[in-house]
Structure 1
C-alpha cells in the first residue's frame, strides 16, 4: 500500500509512489484515491483550492462525471526526501460534447512522515484530439 512507502524517498520508493497513484487514479474511484491523502491534505488543482479528504472525494466525483473514459499516465520527474515531482498526461471524453481531450501537466507532491500526501499542486492544459489520436486506451 502507498501509505507504507514513507519519506525519505529513494528512487525506487518514489517510482512506487508514482505507480501507486497512477493505478489509483485510473480506477476512477474517489474513495480509493482519497485514501492516499492526509485528512487535511491541501490541494491546488488548476484554479481550485481546497482542503481535506472529503473535499477531495467531492472534487474527484465531479471530475469523473465530466471526464468519461479517463486514462492517465504519470511519470516521475524528480524527488527529494519528502517531495515528488510528476509529469502526467491523460485522456478523456467530455460528457457534454463527446469530444476527446488530452491533458498535459505537472504535479508537485509533499508527504507527511506517515506516507500520506499532505499537499498536491497540479497545473495542466487540455486540448481536443480525435479519437484516432488517443494514446491511452
Structure 2
C-alpha cells in the first residue's frame, strides 16, 4: 500500500529508525549504569581498605542488646577473601557487628561466650562505621567492632 508520498517504504523506514534510536538509548543507559556500578564498587573497596586504619584510631561507642554471638571463620573480612577468625554478633538496635582484632582460632569461642544474649553491651566501632551504621544495618553489612564491655 502506498502512502500519500507514493511510497510505503518511507513509513517502514521511519518506524525502523525510531526503534533503532530507542535501542541505542537503552544500550547507552545500560552501559552508563554498569559504569556507575563498577565505579561505586571500586570506591567502596578503596573506602574499606583505607577506613580501617582511620576508624581504628577514632572509635565511637554504641550500646546494643546482643541477640546472638558466634566465633568462627568468616569469608571476605578486612584481612582478605580467604577467611579470617572473627566473632559475629547480631544485636537488636545495631544490626550485625563483627570483631576481627585480637580474635584467633584459640580464643574466638571464648570471646563469643562473654556476650550473653539479652544483655546490653557498649561496642566500640570506628567513626566511619558509626556514621554509616544505619545504612549498614539496612543492607545487612556488619560494622567492625574493636572492643566491647557489658553495660552495668
TM-score bucket (shorter structure):
under 0.3
The structure where strand makes up a greater share of residues is 1
More helix as a share of residues: 2
